[in-house]
């Protein structure tokens, strides 16, 4: 898969699922920005999918 295509897919995932995400907003308001970021990375399925795509960019 080409690098540009992977970056576009990540951008699509972010714009589709992450912008306006209720859970991200909730964690940010209730806890902190860092806690919201941690939630997205460790517990959110979309965040995990973005991570796997990002790892393919490093290869």
pLDDT in tens, 10-54: 999 999 999 999 999 999 999 999 999 999 999 999 999 999 999
| Structure confidence at residue 59 (pLDDT) | 81
pLDDT at 1 over 90: no
Give 4-56 as a DSSP string: HHHHHHHHHHIIIIITT-HHHHHHHHHT-HHHHHHHHHHT-HHHHHHHHHHHH
| Structure confidence at residue 48 (pLDDT) | 95
Q: What is the pTM of this model?
A: 0.81
């Amino acid at each position: 898969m080409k690098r540009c295509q992977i970056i576009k897919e990540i951008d699509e995932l972010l714009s589709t699922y992450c912008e306006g995400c209720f859970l991200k907003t909730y964690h940010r308001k209730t806890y902190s920005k860092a806690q919201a970021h941690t939630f997205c990375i460790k517990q959110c399925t979309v965040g995990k999918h973005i991570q796997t795509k990002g790892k393919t960019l490093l290869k």
